[in-house]
Homo-oligomer: A and B are copies of this chain.
Amino acid sequence: MTKTASQKKADAKVQYDAFLAACPSHQLLSQVSGKWVTLVLSALGSGPDCAGDPRPMRYSELGRIIAGVSPKMLSQTLKSLERDGLIRRTATATVPVTVTYEVTDLGLSLHHTVRQLKIWSESHHDQVAAHRSRFDDEQVEPATLAMVTSRR
Give every chain B residue within 8 A of A109 (Cβ-Cβ).
Answer: 120, 124
Q: Mark A136-149, 1 if CB is under 8 A from B, else 0.
A: 10000000000000
The interface residues of chain A, by DSSP majority, are classed as helix
Q: How far is the CA of A83 from the CA of B33 in the complex (A)?
A: 21
Q: B120 to A28, Cβ gap below 8 A?
A: yes
**Nearest CB on B from A143, distance (A):** 15
Known: A84-B128, A110-B124, A127-B106. A25 touches B135 (CB 8 A): no
Verify if A68 is at the interface (C-beta below 8 Å from B). yes
Q: How far is the CA of A121 from the CA of B132 in the complex (A)?
A: 30
Q: A128 to B113, Cβ gap below 8 A?
A: no
Q: A116 to B118, Cβ gap below 8 A?
A: no
